[in-house]
A and B are shown apart, each in its own frame.
Chain A
Amino acid sequence: MRISSHPILKFNRDKELSFIFDGRKLVGYEGETIAAALHANNIKVLGHSSVKHRPRGFYCAIGNCTSCNMIVNDEPNVRTCITLLEDGMVVKTQSNKGELK
Chain B
Amino acid sequence: MKHYDVVVVGAGPAGMACAINATKHGLTVLLVERDDFLGGQLIKQTHMFFGSEKQYAKTRGIDIATILKKELLKQDHVDIMLDTSALAIYDDKVITLLNHHDYIKVKANAIVVATGASEKVLAFPNNDLPGIYGAGAVQTLMNVHGVKPGKSVVMVGAGNIGLIVSYQLLQAGVDVKAVVEASDSIGGYLVHAQKLRRLGVPILTNHSVKEAHGATALEELIIWKLDENFSGIAGTEKRIETDTCCLSVGLKPSSEMLRQAGAEMTYVRSLGGYVPYINQNHETTVNNLFVCGDVSGIEEASSAMVEGFIVGLTLANRFKNVPNFSVLMTDLKTQLKDLRAGETGEHIMKGIKQIMRGDHHA
B212-253: which have CB < 8 Å to A?
A: 216-217
- Bound-complex Cα distance A56 to B134 (A): 14
Cβ distance A47 to chain B, nearest Cβ, rounded Å? 10
Stretch of B123-131, B298-306, B337-345 lying at the A interface: B123-131
Determine which of A11, A45, A58, A65 lies in contact with B118 in the assembled complex, contact meaning CB atoms within 8 Å: A65
- Return chain A residues, CB-CB under 8 Å to B149: 39
- Return chain B residues, CB-CB under 8 Å to A54: 128
- Return chain B residues, CB-CB under 8 Å to A58: 130, 133, 137
A22-43 CB mask vs B (1 if < 8 Å, else 0) is: 0000000000110010011000
Chain A residues touching B, range: 20 to 34
Asked whether A44 and B217 contact (CB < 8 A) given A6-B146, A57-B133, the answer is yes
Interface of B (DSSP majority class): loop
Query: Judging by beta carbons under 8 Å apart, are A62 and B130 in contact?
Result: no
- Return chain B residues, CB-CB under 8 Å to A11: 145-146
- Bound-complex Cα distance A1 to B34 (A): 28
Cβ distance B119 to chain A, nearest Cβ, rounded Å? 6
Asked whether A57 and B217 contact (CB < 8 A) given A8-B171, A39-B141, the answer is yes
Cβ distance A43 to chain B, nearest Cβ, rounded Å? 9
Query: Judging by beta carbons under 8 Å apart, are B171 and A36 in contact?
Result: no
Determine which of B35, B119, B171 lies in contact with A60 in the assembled complex, contact meaning CB atoms within 8 Å: B119
**Closest B residue by C-beta to A44:** B130
Determine which of B35, B140, B147 lies in contact with A40 in the assembled complex, contact meaning CB atoms within 8 Å: B147
B1-39: which have CB < 8 Å to A?
A: 34-36
Query: Judging by beta carbons under 8 Å apart, are A59 and B121 in contact?
Result: yes
- Bound-complex Cα distance A81 to B60 (A): 24
B92-128: which have CB < 8 Å to A?
A: 118-119, 121, 128
Seen from chain A, the residues whose Cβ lies within 8 Å of a Cβ on chain B are 1-3, 6-9, 11, 13, 32-33, 36, 39-40, 44-46, 49, 54-65, 81-82, 84
9 contacts between A and B (CB under 8 A): A3-B147, A9-B146, A13-B146, A39-B149, A40-B147, A44-B216, A57-B129, A60-B137, A61-B134
